[in-house]
Chain A
Amino acid sequence: MKKFSEEKLKEVERLKARYPERQAPLLMILHMACDEFGYLDDEAYSYISELSGVPKSKVYSVATFYSMYNQKPYGRYHLQLCKNVSCMLAGADDIVKYICDKLNISPGETTPDNRFTLSLVECLGSCGKAPAMIINKEYYENLDIEKVDKILAGLK
């Protein structure tokens, strides 16, 4: 059964108190659910609906609008590489190609050992330190092939 800890349930109550309407804390609760469960599935939607008092259909509708709520399990390390213009001008395409070759996957895929998932994403707000990527929640900036090698080697 998917469930929050007592501590997380208290956090949900604190969140609810910040807004005058019942549905308002939903984005924050969905973030907590992704952190806790890794991704959102039918059981998670039911649980969030019960917890927030928002109909399950609406929970699903909101969750699927936003790109940060995982709908499926990813590898242990989720590499999100920016493909937008500033990163592209700084050589992001070469880095994407290098990572694809090295891990033998295409964007959107996970390695068979479940270690890495690669996604191409839109602007991360790191344009001055391009190319950039996020791994899980950490930013990695000013990437080059040597740096990428070091980063990947450090992620077991």
Chain B
Amino acid sequence: MELIVSKNFNKKDSYKLETYLAGGGYEAIKKCLDSMKPADVIEEVKKSGLRGRGGAGFPTGMKWSFVPKESSVPKYLAVNADEGEPGTFKDRLVLELDPHLLLEGIMIASYAVGIGTAYIYIRGEYKKAFDTVRNAIEECYQKGFLGENIFGKNYKLDIHVHAGAGAYICGEETGLIESLEGRRGQPRLKPPFPAISGLFMGPTVINNVETLAFVPSIINKGGEWFASIGTPKNSGTRLFGVSGSVEKPGVYELELGITARKLIYEICGGVKNGKKLKGFIPGGLSAPIMTAEELDVPLDFDSLAKAGSMAGSGGVIVIDESADIPKIAARTADFYAHESCGQCTQCREGTRWVSQLFNKIYQGRGQKKDIDLILDVCSNMMGQTICVLSDACAMPSIAFIKKFRHEFEALVK
């Protein structure tokens, strides 16, 4: 299989401009500027079927087309590099190992939508990634690839880096916008959607790092080429980050549609120490857990949604037979309770209740009715809030109980 986003990862000095140029870098943006109209670029990305790799899997070309062509106020691109979904560690590699691939993707997206300023929002802990991307931007300014008249053409683009400061909620689109504006990262009510009024009140596109890193190849090789990889409606490859009880954890670029069985047993060398598999979380901690019986579900957006979970960020957490599901559930709920921004009652109170109840059960202080109380609380947490953090706590919590109820019952009086 041909690598697309990770093709340069193993090159020496992969992060340097000269390495990127030697591998045919910045040809795609030149092609756009030379011979493609912005609408042609959007059309090509639509044709590719590329879907967002950050979590929601929304079609990228469609997202770009929602932004009005004419705008009386500046339009912006906000790049979501606030990688914080537990179990996810793939954008970090793009940022640290191939920042110019991301920058070229940003240039193409900006040209397609008519954007003059892009901000890359990098989570605060990723200091090495921040420095690497900042240096790559500096290299581009020196070469005339950024600033006024990029590549000698009549197009102006500035790219800036912005550091987050440790808040998971800033990975939510409008939380990220608030944080870019220097405020508390509390998500906004929608509508208006960011495509109409987002950053600094301007029409705004928000794309994940990996999503943008696919764009240069799509322009070079065509949307049809990309659409031929993976499965229909789930085209291309993605970076799977595999962690937990597995022999060879790490980031692997694989076609969408690969099964969890193949990923865990063939690619990653199986469950650690030859143990039996108890389950796996297929798309970051918000994704409901799957059992060992569900190993043959293809790891793509539509198949996982149909199976009651989600492809999310591509972070696969492998759980072996010796792990305690109630302990994992408690740790999961602790996370959401800590990261709730506090705006909505259902989330602020709900996440805390769920966390306290799971901990009570795990520590052997729970009663049987607490198990159903968690389900009751969760049922009041979904679809009721400004953003989906509340749902992201409720969905996996319900799945832990529904699929492993006997483990909770064994701990309660």
Residues on A close to B: CB < 8 A? 18-21, 23-28, 30-31, 54, 61-62, 65-69, 83-86, 88-90, 122-130, 134, 137, 139
B126, B183, B186, B327: the one within 8 Å of A125 (CB): B126
Q: Report the stretch among B32-40, B330-338, B351-359 that lies at the interface.
A: B330-338
Closest chain-B Cβ to A15's Cβ sits at a distance in Å of 9
CA distance A94 to B332 in the complex (A): 18
- Say yes or no: B165 contacts A68, CB within 8 Å: yes
- Say yes or no: A62 contacts B183, CB within 8 Å: yes
- Say yes or no: A68 contacts B319, CB within 8 Å: no
CA distance A27 to B102 in the complex (A): 23
Closest chain-B Cβ to A32's Cβ sits at a distance in Å of 10
Given known contacts A125-B89, A128-B241, is B332 in contact with A85 (CB within 8 Å)?
Answer: yes
Within 8 Å of chain A (Cβ to Cβ): is B11?
no
Q: Which residues of A contact B166 (CB under 8 A)?
A: 66-68
- Say yes or no: B183 contacts A23, CB within 8 Å: yes
Residue contacts A-B, CB under 8 angstroms, 10 given: A20-B74, A62-B184, A65-B341, A66-B124, A66-B185, A67-B166, A67-B167, A127-B86, A127-B244, A128-B242
CA distance A68 to B122 in the complex (A): 13
- Say yes or no: A125 contacts B243, CB within 8 Å: no
Q: Which residues of A contact B215 (CB under 8 A)?
A: none
- Say yes or no: B285 contacts A84, CB within 8 Å: yes
Q: Which residues of B contact A134 (CB under 8 A)?
A: 125
Given known contacts A28-B162, A31-B163, is B184 in contact with A128 (CB within 8 Å)?
Answer: no
- Say yes or no: A85 contacts B181, CB within 8 Å: no
Q: Which residues of A contact B341 (CB under 8 A)?
A: 65
Closest chain-B Cβ to A79's Cβ sits at a distance in Å of 14
- Say yes or no: B317 contacts A20, CB within 8 Å: no
- Say yes or no: A125 contacts B285, CB within 8 Å: no
- Say yes or no: B165 contacts A123, CB within 8 Å: no
CA distance A43 to B123 in the complex (A): 27
Given known contacts A67-B167, A89-B317, A125-B89, is B249 in contact with A130 (CB within 8 Å)?
Answer: yes
Residues on B close to A: CB < 8 A? 74, 83-89, 92, 123-128, 158, 160, 162-168, 179-186, 200, 241-245, 249-251, 281, 285, 315, 317-319, 323, 327-328, 331-332, 335, 338-339, 341
- Say yes or no: B182 contacts A21, CB within 8 Å: yes
Closest chain-B Cβ to A37's Cβ sits at a distance in Å of 15
- Say yes or no: B250 contacts A89, CB within 8 Å: no
- Say yes or no: A86 contacts B244, CB within 8 Å: yes
- Say yes or no: B88 contacts A125, CB within 8 Å: yes
- Say yes or no: A128 contacts B182, CB within 8 Å: no
Q: 6 shortest A-B CB distances, which residue pairs?
A: A26-B182, A66-B165, A127-B243, A67-B166, A68-B166, A23-B182
Nearest-CB residue, chain A, relative to B281: A85
B181, B317, B319: the one within 8 Å of A127 (CB): B317
- Say yes or no: B87 contacts A122, CB within 8 Å: no
- Say yes or no: B317 contacts A88, CB within 8 Å: no
Q: Which residues of A contact B87 (CB under 8 A)?
A: 85-86, 123, 127
- Say yes or no: A85 contacts B285, CB within 8 Å: yes
Nearest-CB residue, chain A, relative to B158: A18
Given known contacts A85-B317, A85-B328, is B124 in contact with A127 (CB within 8 Å)?
Answer: no
